Each structure stands twice: as structure tokens, then as C-alpha cells.
Amino acid sequence: MTRLFTHLSSKPHKLFFLGGITNAVVYMGLLVAHYTGAASALIALPVYHAYAMLFLVFTQFFTAFLFTMAPRFFATPPVPCPQYVRIFLIFNLSSLLLICSLYSSTAMIAVAGVGVFVAYLLVCKIFIAAHLQSTVENRYDTNWILVALAMGGLSQLLFLLPWFGVTGYLLQRLSIDVGFFLYLFMMVLTLSQKMIPFFTEGKVEGYKANKSRFFLGTIFALLAIKVSLGVLQLGHYCWVIYFFLAAVTLWEIIKWRLPFLKVEPILWVLYLSLMWIPVGFFLFFLEGVAHYFMESAPLFFEKTPLHVLAIGYFTTIAVGFGSRIILGHSGRKPKADAYTVGLFMLVQLVVVVRVLSGLSLNFNAAWYVNLILLSAGLWVALFLLWSLRYVKILCEP
């Protein structure tokens, strides 16, 4: 066991990918328990589901990317092993405490949340230290990562307040909106627009992405307006913002002229993930228009647009980046065989089933729970199947 942990802790991506995979399976299992009536947590399902996915699943995946790529971004030494091992342990011991506390003690939920927040602050501390130490002149992208990290810290504080007795619907909504849009979406988008063109330029001779200079700033401004409208209880006007978000992201992706037919699956799956961004925002737009103009008989979307982004974009990127990093850092060629391509397609199937579950409320509400359980089961299957191939590689010396 000691030897296994030594192998796992030899590089930061190994530990944090393992943590992300484990939490992805466990917290989706808790969701299944909720919908089947087997368990009922002390805090609302949307709250702990969003919190766990934001800060215990996706944050661990993207911490693996940050700790792996930060030395390259900043031309600084690798993150020291004791530092990232400490963060991994705090994250996952806090997660274990949260799981145990969800059904037993609100006070212990708060303690677990503080533990997650401490681990998150340590991640931020390492990234900021590398940023300050760096002599690299162009730090445009990493500046936006710092902004996203700051928004993540704000979101965690907003999540913690109700667990310490400060309540309010707007507070709950704000914690999720800030965490999802201003933290995680901006983090993943910043990494995507930096790394995907970079990977492509290394594979396709003569390729150069035509990236817009103010793309990230424009998206952040639009998302900040969207979040602010929610705080001001003017969310029914957000459909206008969603239209611009869909249009701006689609136009940017088109400008990049990504060579789908000239690259291998390990790369085109990243292109595919980008296409879910305008789709997700367009669905948000349709939802807003339906509620604004059809108030008497609106269409129900039931968080479908949010899950298009969370599964279609975030999860596809996590699986695509993760597979690439695991293979590359084990000395293997970053190439997707038929098994891995099947995993990529399974992610897209999860998106489709989750979309159908939300839209089913407009036709036959009896389908809803079954489709939710099916999408959750496919999610668990995805990460278990990914583990069969890639956890074995993570455990290698």
C-alpha cells in the first residue's frame, strides 16, 4: 500500500485525477440514492449536488491540469510533492466527512466545507506564488485563471454561509451561479482557448488559431451581467444575455477553423466539447424566451442547458484532457484507441439522455425519474470504464 501511494504521489495529476474520478462516482451514487428514495440529505439536493460537482469533482480534475501545466505556463519549478499531497488529502478527507455528515449533522457539513475551502485556498496559493515568481511576460491567460480562482473562492464562501446559519434563496442561487459561470466555466474556457489551439498547432502544419483578443473579457462581462440580473431578481431578462453568449462563443469557435478531419480522436474530441458551449447557451436562450413570452404555459427545461455545459463541455474536456495527460506523462503516445473513443462517445450519450430527461417534463413526467437514473447510471459507467483503462496507468511507477 505504501508503495502504491508512492507511485500515485509521484506526479500531481495522478492523485487529483484519482480524487476526481472517485468523487464523480460517489456523489452520483448519492444522487441515485436520493431519486430512488433510499436516502435524504439534511441539505437540499441542488445545493450539495452542485457543491460536490463544482469543488470536489471538477476542481480536482482541473487542479491536476493546473499543477501539471503551471510550470510550463510560468517557466517555474514543478509543484513540490509534499504541497500537492497535503492538498489532495485535505480535499478528500473533507469530502469523506461531507458524505458522512450529509445524513447526520449540519454542523459537521460546515466543518467539511471549511476543509474543502482550506484545500482550495492552498491550490490558489500555489498558483499565485508561481504567477509572482514567473518572468514570463505574456500572462494574459493566467491572469484570467486567477480571476476564475477568485470567483471560486467567493462561491465557496457563499455556499458556507447557510451552513453557518445565514439563509436566503438568493444566497443559494448566487453561490451556484458564481461557482458555475464565473469560476468553473471561465476556468475551463481559459484552459480550452489556450491549450486546444496549442495542441492543434503541434499536429497540423501551418495551422494558426485566429483568436479574438477580447474574447475572454467579453464572455466574463456577459456572465457577470447574467449573475447580477439574478441577484437583482431580474433573471427573466437573462435570455438576452444568453443569446449574445451563444453568438459570441459560436463565432469564436468558427474563427478558429478547427481541422476536425485532419487530427486524431484524442484532439477532435476537444473540438467536439467546444461545440456544446453555444448549444448550451442557446438552450438557456430558448428557456428564457419560453418563460418570458409564454408565461401562462411555459416549456420546461429543468436545468437541461446547465447540464449540457456541465456534461457536454466540462466532462468531455476533463476526459479528453485527462486521457491525453495520463498517456503523455506515462511515456505513451497521446492517442485514443477504439476503447477511448468509445468513452468519448459515452460522454455524448450521457448529455443526450440528460437533455431528454429535462425535456420529458413537457410530455410525460413519469419518464423524468427513469431518465435521470439512466443518465446517472451512464455517468457512473463512464468513470468506472475510464478507471479500468487509466487508473491502472496512474498506479504505475
Going by the DSSP 8-state scheme, the letter that residue 102 receives in this structure is: T
What lies within 8 Å, CB to CB, of 169 at 6+ separation is: none
Give me the pLDDT at residue 138, please: 87
Pick from 309, 72, 73: nearest CA to 189: 309
Closest CA to 83 of 132, 43, 119, 33: 119
pLDDT of residue 32: 95
Instruction: Count CB-CB contacts under 10 A for residue 355.
Output: 22
The identity of residue 58, as a single letter, is F
Residue 64 corresponds to which cell in the numbers above?
Answer: 491536476
Distance CA 151, CA 167 (A): 20
Rg for the chain (alpha carbons), in Å? 20
Q: What is the pLDDT of residue 292?
A: 83
| pLDDT tens, per residue, the chain with 397 residues | 677 788 898 999 999 999 999 999 999 999 999 999 998 899 989 999 999 999 999 999 999 999 999 898 899 999 999 999 999 999 999 999 999 999 999 999 999 999 999 999 999 999 999 999 999 988 899 999 999 999 999 999 999 999 998 887 788 899 999 999 999 999 999 999 999 999 999 999 999 999 999 999 999 999 999 999 999 999 989 999 999 999 999 999 999 999 999 999 999 999 999 999 999 999 999 999 988 887 666 788 999 999 999 999 999 999 999 999 999 999 899 999 999 999 999 999 999 999 999 999 988 888 999 999 999 999 999 999 999 999 999 998 7
